[in-house]
Chains A and B, each alone.
Chain A
Amino acid sequence: MTTGGNPGLAELQARMQAAILADSPAGDALALIAEPEGNTPGERLETYRSAYRIRLVSILREEFDALHAFLGDEEFDALALAYVAACPSSTPDARWYGKRFAGFALSTQPWGKHPVIGELAALQWALSGAFDAADAPVMQMDDLAAIPADAVAGLRLTFHPSAGLLERKTNACEILTALRSAAEPVAPSTIDDGSAVMVWRGDNRARYRIIEAEEAMLAREAMGGQDFSLLCEMAATMADLDTAAMRVASVLRGWIDSGVLTGVQLPA
């Protein structure tokens, strides 16, 4: 619908949005704006255009504060502005705007050539997710003792909503630890030992730790829904066959102690 030669509301909003998102201000939006006192329409429009970029970069700086510290203002903002240009927000909640940031950093050059950037972003994102993930009761040791012996082989573990597993090809985890503890900076390096990073929430804090190859494999499979007997079989392929069940049980106790699990599903 148009009124007196002016565009309807839908067209006005589309033109304004296009002008805010565009690399350079779109001329057809300027015609929508009444001549202001003391400024040109373009100067007033620029306030919205620059605020959009400043706001989204600021959201990313806050969300990925360790990566910001690691890269410094200039390099981080270059990455953030590239993300803002490539990935307009579609979420009503700015909290989720950084969802694709790590993937973008890993897949877009020149940042993709340095996977530690994407991995550090992925780790921070996972920690944010763990911090405010949904609440759920945490499994206790007594719950484990209550499982009938003949059901153990078929049980499947249920992970807490905050629990996650990150594969790792770099030492982003060690870099984050150094940044958080104000320790000497750690130089980026590659990792190829099968280890991974487990992320979860404990005592209301987001936590992470590096887990070695066997535990990483067990976490991957258990999160994928494999039962206890299969976890033991897979452990047997990685180290001593005779101690496989004990090792899996030990890992399981560690997960229960740290609050990574909510319970188990018994076989039907």
Chain B
Amino acid sequence: MLAMRDRPSALGFGLGLRPQHYGEILDGNPDVDWFEILSENYFARGGQPMRMLDAIRERYPVVMHGVSMSIASTAPLNMDYLASLKALADRVNPHWISDHLCWTGVHGVNLHDLLPVPYTEEALSHVADRISRVQDYLGRRIAIENVSSYIEYAASEMSEWEFVAEVSRRADCWLLLDVNNVFVSGTNHGFDGNQFIDTIPVDRVVQFHLAGHSEGNGHLVDTHDQPVCDEVFELYGEALKRFGPVSTMIERDGNIPPLADLVAELGRARAVADSVFGSGTTADAA
């Protein structure tokens, strides 16, 4: 039985580590509590990327975040991928490892996208079983992230939040709650983000993602190339009220600004947390 005390300690306020910022991080010791690395960027590599990662690891806690586990795919689990992930984890010693509740391809193809699943009992059983197998292989719980989606399947038998919550229970995994993804999918599919948040088990959530999105053709698209919008910060405040102090970070993958801009944006997340918990209490509460 999972207890709240099993949940990893909150790390504070972090950023996604991007190569553009290596120098600024090492030269400036920015006011960032931790970094999330993209696991695939460091698979079986040497040279400067690993050297930079090693240097940053010495100063900051690190978590690993992947985009290619394809946990919901009906293709066999990619054991080479998992071996690389395990080897990297052995070297990096991350606080946790995460990936997305999605599939990225079948029949040997990788679409390099985070495709949603139909919220069916079949998919639920399939995904929970695969998460369990991955956790057994890695010897640790992983955190699974809700994705942004632009479609809903006619086959779905339950809501996304019911699906996510039940996956976490059946697989006994952590959850990475992407607040922007809740907002994007909620806007695209006409649900209230608070309803999503209020259904997710509190003891499962180890991390929040914040990110920006763009206006698509009549719907929102999860582009990570804009600042976090007001509505997402507002929803983040609601999430903090439900889940308490949870490790929070901002993802930026396009139009990447100088590190100082992201640190300033992270300051806004700190301010939201201060408004929920009282100034200066977030680190202690962790």
Contact = CB atoms under 8 A, between A and B. Distances in A.
Nearest to B118: A12
Q: Which 5 A-B pairs have the closest CB atoms?
A: A135-B46, A92-B68, A6-B155, A10-B74, A132-B45
Q: Which of A13, A92, A95, A162 has the most CB of B within 10 A?
A: A92
**B41, B118, B121: residue with the most chain A Cβ atoms closer than 10 Å:** B118
A17 B121 contact: no
A14 B51 contact: no
Contacts of A89: 105, 109-112
Interface in B208-257: 216-219, 221
Contacts, number: 150
Contact of A134 (B45, B122, B219): B45
A179 B155 CA distance: 53
Interface stretch (A31-39, A116-124, A229-237, A238-246): A31-39
A135 B118 CA distance: 43
Interface string A121-142: 0000000001111111000000
Interface in B77-132: 78, 81, 103-113, 115, 117-118, 120-123, 126
B13 to A, nearest CB: 28
Contacts of B118: 6, 9, 12, 32
Interface of B: 40-41, 43-51, 68, 70, 73-74, 78, 81, 103-113, 115, 117-118, 120-123, 126, 150-157, 188-190, 216-219, 221
Contact of B103 (A13, A43, A132, A161): A13
Contacts of A135: 46-47, 50
Contacts of A31: 154
| Centre residue among B47, B49, B120, B189 by max chain A CB count within 10 A | B47
A53 to B, nearest CB: 11
Contact of B122 (A8, A14, A34, A130): A8
Contacts of A134: 44-46
Nearest to A6: B155
Contacts of A131: 47-48
Contacts of B81: 92
Contacts of B155: 3-4, 6-7, 12, 32
A88 B109 contact: yes
A21 B109 contact: yes
A92 B78 contact: yes
Q: Is the interface of B mostly helix, strand, loop or mixed?
A: loop
Given A133-B47, A161-B46, A204-B51, A33 B154 contact: yes
A132 B217 contact: no
Interface of A: 1, 3-4, 6-10, 12-14, 16-17, 20-21, 31-34, 36-39, 41, 43-48, 51-52, 55-56, 59, 88-95, 97, 130-136, 161-162, 201, 204-205
A20 B104 CA distance: 12
Nearest to B103: A13
Contacts of A45: 151
A34 B106 contact: no
A34 B152 contact: yes
A61 to B, nearest CB: 13
A137 to B, nearest CB: 11
B189 A36 contact: yes
Contacts of B154: 6, 31-34
B218 A39 contact: yes
A17 B112 contact: no
A21 B111 CA distance: 8
A37 B190 contact: yes
Contacts of A44: 150-151, 188, 219
Contacts of A20: 111, 113
9 contacts: A6-B118, A12-B118, A13-B115, A36-B219, A44-B151, A52-B112, A89-B110, A132-B48, A135-B50
A8 to B, nearest CB: 6
Contact of A13 (B46, B73, B78, B219): B73
B217 A43 contact: yes
Contact of B74 (A13, A37, A39, A92): A13
A14 B106 contact: yes
A204 B109 contact: no
A141 B59 CA distance: 35
Contacts of A162: 46-47
Contacts of A13: 73-74, 103, 106, 115
A135 B219 CA distance: 46
Contacts of B117: 9
B44 A95 contact: no
